[in-house]
Amino acid sequence: MEHRKRAMSAGGMIAALAAVIGAILGAAGSAAAHGERAQEPSLRMLTVQFYDTKWSTDKVPVNGEITVSGRFHVMKNWPLEIYEPGLAYLNVAVPGPVFVRVASSIGEVNGFASVKLELGQEYEYKLVLKGRLPGRYHVHPMLDVQDVGPIVGPGKWVTVEAAPAQARFVDPVTTLTGHTVDLASYGLGWVIKYHLVWLALGLAWLVYWIRKPMLMPRYEAVQSGEADQLITRGDRLAALVVLGASLMVAFGGLAIADSMFPLTIPLQSDWTRAKPLPESSAEISVEPLAATYLVPGRSMQFKLLVTNNSHEAVKLGEFTTANLRFINSAVEAADSAYPAELIAPGGLVIKAGGDEIAPGQTKEVYFEATSPIWETDRLASLVRDPTNRVGGLLMFYDSAGKRSVVEFSHEIIPTFTGPLANAY
Ligand SMILES: [Cu+2]
């Protein structure tokens, strides 16, 4: 009886374990991001801000093209604890070689070049990608910045469909001598043959030594002072043959490749400067006065002093940071093609100073950006960082729709009690 009882409790334990494993697997199944939220909030909010990002489509067939384009702003107030940006290379963040890049550009420079980024400037970029492997991928523009690392723009889900008629991926290019070759399979035969030759040579060398007595007998021979007898005349001869064969394969391979392809040019690269966009923000200046993060309310609250030196009255339409957008629906309509999960449903709510800022006027504006997105996008974790700083871009619009993009950054104080609004 005792025995039986124990067996039952073991069964119960197995059931509980199965439930726990099931729960873990279920949770893992819903995780679809690939690390874009893992970087420190300060890196994401204070370095490069992507905006106006557009994906030409969210569904392409294999061999079909998609264009990702937009702008990015390099923060003038670049954090001193992060290396100043050196060269940057425009890239795309996707899981593996699921697309090929057909063309890219950054500020009118061909995207094969790495460009020097200037602080406080904005650049236009474009990436043309061609679907290679069928699947559903999160496609982000990305800047690989020297000394800093990758800075990832917003991601959108794009499906590469296997169209039955044209499912085989092809990548034809015309060479400088006028031949058309398919890069998807070009030279693959030679790659395989050359590897097989080396594999055969390597295996022969291994087998030659493995068939002889190995570790312990050789160790004993060394211990008893007979190490010299371990390598025979035959071994030396075999080594010479393998060495000769290796040199023949290496230099022979080179000679064959040279005679088959007499005209080659090295892979091209370039380091250059890209042309920034003309400044849009010179006429509007923003001086941040205070910023708080109300932790229980998941609300960032900002008090700014805005000076309008333009000839038109302007209104604050949007606050964007780390690819998230807080839109003031009274001024700007939400962009329906932008990934919905990156637009905060609560938007940007102006609590004071919300009406327009007249030409020549300096005005205090207080607004709140409230959304669980601060937690789910892991930006609120800045409260655990040694540097509590927040930054982003503010977009002001005049009545004709002309936009001014102004950056700001400020230290932020997390609070568990009252909002900054209490001051009003
Ligand atoms: Cu992603």
More confident residue, 418 or 96: 96
> Across the strands, what pairs with 284?
308
Among the listed ranges 24-38, 62-76, 392-406, which one has the minimum average pLDDT value? 24-38
**Residue 416 shares a structural domain with residue 310:** yes
In a domain, 6, yes or no: no
Closest by Cα among 390, 228, 415 to 321? 390
Domain end (from 228, 260, 292)? 260
- 8: pLDDT strictly greater than 50: no
In a domain, 88, yes or no: yes
CB burial of residue 171 (10 Å; 0-12, 13-18, 19+):
middle
Q: Of all helices (H) and strands (E), which one includes residue 22?
A: helix 2-29
- 107: pLDDT strictly greater than 80: yes
**Residue 148 shares a structural domain with residue 212:** no
In a domain, 17, yes or no: no
| The pLDDT value given to residue 302 | 93
* pLDDT tens, position by position, 126-142: 999 999 999 999 999 99
Residue 97 alpha carbon to ligand 1 centre in Å: 15
Domain end (from 152, 176, 200)? 176
* pLDDT tens, position by position, 322-331: 999 999 988 8
Q: What is the mean pLDDT of residues 358-379?
A: 90
Instruction: Work out the percent of the chain whose per-residue pLDDT is above 90.
Output: 60
Residue 154 alpha carbon to ligand 1 centre in Å: 7
| The pLDDT value given to residue 123 | 96
Among the listed ranges 177-181, 252-256, 261-265, 384-388, which one has the minimum average pLDDT value? 384-388
* pLDDT tens, position by position, 138-168: 999 999 999 999 999 999 999 999 877 667 8
User: Alpha-carbon distance 368 to 302, whole Å?
Assistant: 6
User: Alpha-carbon distance 294 to 371, whole Å?
Assistant: 11
**Residue 254 shares a structural domain with residue 290:** no
Closest by Cα among 44, 42, 273, 279 to 153? 44
> Across the strands, what pairs with 293?
300, 414
**Residue 254 shares a structural domain with residue 322:** no
Among the listed ranges 48-57, 185-194, 377-386, which one has the minimum average pLDDT value? 377-386
Residue 196 alpha carbon to ligand 1 centre in Å: 38
Residue 417 alpha carbon to ligand 1 centre in Å: 34
| The pLDDT value given to residue 351 | 87
Residue 300 alpha carbon to ligand 1 centre in Å: 24
Residue 159 alpha carbon to ligand 1 centre in Å: 13
Domain end (from 226, 260, 294)? 260
Q: Of all helices (H) and strands (E), which one includes residue 116?
A: strand 113-116
Contact partners, residue 43, CB within 8 Å, separation at least 6: 82, 148, 149, 151
Q: Six-digit token pair at 268? A: 């091209």
- 5: pLDDT strictly greater than 80: no
- 118: pLDDT strictly greater than 90: yes
Q: Six-digit token pair at 176? A: 């400088």
Mean pLDDT, rounded, of the chain: 87
| The pLDDT value given to residue 414 | 85
User: Alpha-carbon distance 117 to 147, whole Å?
Assistant: 13
Residue 152 alpha carbon to ligand 1 centre in Å: 9
Among the listed ranges 70-84, 253-267, 368-382, which one has the minimum average pLDDT value? 368-382
Instruction: Give the Cα-Cα-Cα angle 237, 243, 244 (nearest 5 degrees).
Output: 90
At residue 185, what is the residue type?
S
Chain position carrying tokens 């009255």: 313
- Looking at residue 225, the DSSP 8-state letter turns out to be T
Residue 384 alpha carbon to ligand 1 centre in Å: 24
* pLDDT tens, position by position, 210-225: 998 888 988 998 999 9
- 119: pLDDT strictly greater than 60: yes
User: Alpha-carbon distance 69 to 324, whole Å?
Assistant: 17
Torsion of Cα atoms, 252 then 254 then 256 then 258, to 10°: -150
| The pLDDT value given to residue 379 | 86
At residue 275, what is the residue type?
K
Residue 301 alpha carbon to ligand 1 centre in Å: 27
In a domain, 222, yes or no: yes
- 371: pLDDT strictly greater than 60: yes
The CATH number for 227's domain is 1.10.287.710
- 249: pLDDT strictly greater than 50: yes
The CATH number for 382's domain is 2.60.40.1580
Residue 95 alpha carbon to ligand 1 centre in Å: 9
- 7: pLDDT strictly greater than 60: no
Residue 99 alpha carbon to ligand 1 centre in Å: 15
In a domain, 2, yes or no: no
Confidence band (pLDDT; 50, 70, 90) for 424? very low
Is residue 161 a contact partner of residue 134, using CB atoms and an 8 Å limit? yes
Residue 274 alpha carbon to ligand 1 centre in Å: 27
Structural domains in the chain (count):
3
In a domain, 3, yes or no: no
Range of the domain at 255: 188-260
Residue 44 alpha carbon to ligand 1 centre in Å: 14
CA-CA-CA-CA torsion sign (379, 383, 389, 390):
positive
User: Alpha-carbon distance 370 to 301, whole Å?
Assistant: 8
**Residue 159 shares a structural domain with residue 206:** no
Is residue 269 a contact partner of residue 113, using CB atoms and an 8 Å limit? yes
Residue 297 alpha carbon to ligand 1 centre in Å: 27
Residue 388 alpha carbon to ligand 1 centre in Å: 25
Confidence band (pLDDT; 50, 70, 90) for 17? low
In a domain, 268, yes or no: no
User: Alpha-carbon distance 160 to 374, whole Å?
Assistant: 31
> End-to-end CA distance of the chain, in Å?
74
Q: What is the mean pLDDT of residues 277-306?
A: 88
Residue 314 alpha carbon to ligand 1 centre in Å: 34
In a domain, 84, yes or no: yes
- The model scores a pTM over 0.85: no
Residue 320 alpha carbon to ligand 1 centre in Å: 18
**Residue 211 shares a structural domain with residue 329:** no
**Residue 54 shares a structural domain with residue 160:** yes
- 1: pLDDT strictly greater than 70: no
| The pLDDT value given to residue 31 | 43
